[in-house]
Amino acid sequence: MRKAPLILLLINFIFSTGKYGDAFLGLGTSARNIGLGQAVVADLGNASGFNVCPAAITGLNKKTFYLLLINQYSLAEYFSGGVVLPLKRNQFIGINTSGLIIDNIQIRPDLSSIGSLESRRDSIRSLMDNGFETFDDLEFSATITFAKMYKNNFKMGLDFIPYQLPVGINIRLIRKKLYDLEASGIGFDVGGILSFELSEFFSYEWLGRFSIGASVNHAFGTHLIWNSDRKEIIPMQIVKGIAYNQPIEKFRSQLSILVQKNNLFPDELQYGFELTTFNRLFIRIGNRAGTNQGGLGFLVNIGKIPIQLDYSFANHDLGNAHRLGFQLEL
């Protein structure tokens, strides 16, 4: 009997954010980022933002750990976790592992080639008695990020305007296993962010920080080599966007606005809004691929360790997807 794992067509539909080999990475690296529509290419000081722009991990003052857990429509388990370490001379290193696990996928045999109805009936009875053969879909990535923060001034008339210019690079290993097929590949991302205070340009001290970010992800294409000698190329992505952080000092709060575009999806605009209140409560809404997203975050202290707990959701025809994550600094 010819084996036809038709369920894979459904899985591909559910999890692909585009018809590309890195679709599982599109599930995100933190609940916060997902709640913001993952529009974080210009989001400076974001430990888990490396997946969109490797320069985003700069600006952190302490060791930062983060973890994301997703149960996607009760069909798959996804995780992403990592750490960012500030080094000397405004240098940073980040390490992340992410993985998607879909287990117990049934292999449905094709019975159409069996001639007689009696033989088909006997085959169906045998399958019902003995159960279907199953296999797993495993997709995994390991990423190391190197970034450096440059600080300088540029001249504007008689004034010198200070700015920050972090740059970063990702080196990513991707591994896949589907039934008896395996693939692996190595990809590279390069990105940077230009950030400055608008109050330095205009005579309004209440103005906040404006950032412009751009990243070339899967530079030159990431090649996945399968053990079947099939080659798959993850195409290069160019992501660019802006972020604006407006302090609301009277309430010890801040409003952040984030927008970005991806050349692979020219008709889509990703955006997110985050309201930080009293430096404790975070309210987020966003949109990605036409899907409304949002979430909440809470900052609590356990002893002297600040821990940020995050929740996000996204609506979908298959049902709402809920994500949980946390981040802590040491």
Pairing type for strands 281-288 and 64-72 reads unpaired
State in words which class domain 2-329 has: mainly beta
pLDDT score at 157: 74
Cα(54)–Cα(79) distance, integer angstroms: 19
**Number of C-beta neighbours around residue 192 at 10 A:** 20
pLDDT in tens, 42-59: 999 999 999 999 999 998
pLDDT score at 77: 84
What DSSP line would sit under 246-291, residue for residue?
EEEGGGTEEEEEEEEEETTSTT--EEEEEEEETTTEEEEEEEETTE
Pure H helices in the chain? 7-15, 31-35, 117-130
Cα-flanking dihedrals φ and ψ of residue 124, to 5°? -65, -45
Residues in the chain: 330
Question: Taking the domains of the chain in order of start, what are their residue ranges?
Answer: 2-329
pLDDT score at 9: 43
3-class DSSP state for residue 42?
coil
What does pLDDT average to in each consecutive run of 10 residues of the chain (330 residues)?
Answer: 40 45 80 95 96 95 93 78 95 95 68 63 63 73 97 82 95 90 93 94 89 96 90 93 94 95 93 94 93 93 91 75 90
Cα-flanking dihedrals φ and ψ of residue 185, to 5°? -165, 165
pLDDT in tens, 93-125: 999 999 988 766 666 666 566 666 666 666 666
pLDDT score at 124: 63
pLDDT score at 145: 98
pLDDT score at 28: 86
Q: Model-level pTM?
A: 0.84
